[in-house]
Amino acid sequence: MKTVAAVRHVDFEDLGSLAGILDERGFSVTYHDAGVSDPGDPHLREASLLIVLGGPMSANDYPAYPFLKSEVEAIKFRLQAGLPTLGICLGAQLIAKALGARVYPAVQPEIGWSKISLSRAGHSSPLRLFQHVPVFHWHNETFDLPEDAIGLASTRACPHQAFALARRALALQFHPEITELDLERWFTGYAGELATNPLPVQTLRDESAIYCDNLELHTKLWFGAWLEHVGLG
C-alpha cells in the first residue's frame, strides 16, 4: 500500500484536487492536523509521500507554533533520506527553512491568479504542464533559493515560485490543489486578510470561475507526471 501523510495547518486548506488523484492511484491518505496530531508521529517520516500544506502562520513562528519545529525536523529527515516530499505555500517555505534558506516577508502579498514563468530546468520538469496556465497564489512571505536546490519557476512578484531538490523533493509557493469550492471556504476563513487585499472578493471569485476548471485539469496532468518522476506512479 502506498501511503501519504498530509500535514494540514487549517482544516479548509486540505489536499483539494490532489485527493482524488491520489485515490485513483491507490494511495492511502492520512491527515496530520498541526497542533492536534502528534508532531512526532513516525508516519511523517515513513510514509511513501509527505505533503506539507499551506497555512496562515509564518515558517518562522516557532515560539507561537512549536509544532513547526517538529515539521521541519521531519522534512529534514526525508530530504536527507531522499524520500518523496511535496510542500505547498507554507509547506514550501518549511522545506526552504529545513534546507537552511531564509524565509521572510515578501515585498508585497501575492493573492490571486497569474501565470508562472518557467526556468530552463522548469521546462524540463513536470511543471512544464503549467506553462501558460494561470495558477492561484495566496502568500505573504517568500524565501531565498536553498543551496543545491534547482529553481523551477518565478512570477514578477515572487522570484522563487518553485524549486526542486534532487528528484524527490518539490516546493511550490503557488496552490495547484485549489478548487472553486475550496476557495469559497478560503474567502470566509481569511475574511480579515482579504479586507486589506487590493482585489475585492468578488473579483477573485469571478476570476476563479474562469480559471479553476483549467487549473484542475493541468494539476491532474502535472501531479500524475510528478508521481511518476519520483517513482510513485
**Options 9, 89, 110, 216, the catalytic residue:** 89
pTM attached to this predicted model: 0.97
Q: Active site includes 137?
A: no
**Options 160, 177, 212, 216, the catalytic residue:** 177
The answer on pLDDT for 39 being more than 80 is no
Residue among 83, 89, 97 at smallest CA distance from 147: 97
**Options 9, 32, 160, 175, the catalytic residue:** 175
Q: Active site includes 89?
A: yes
Whether 53 contacts 14, CB under 8 Å:
yes
Q: Which domains does the chain have, with CATH numbers?
A: 2-229 (3.40.50.880)
What pLDDT, in 10s, does the model give residues 56-115?
999 999 999 999 999 999 999 999 999 999 999 999 999 999 999 999 999 989 999 999
Q: 53: which 3 cell numbers? A: 500544506
Query: What whole-number distance in Å separates Cα of residue 44 and Cα of residue 40?
Result: 8
What pLDDT, in 10s, does the model give residues 7-33?
999 999 999 999 999 999 999 999 999
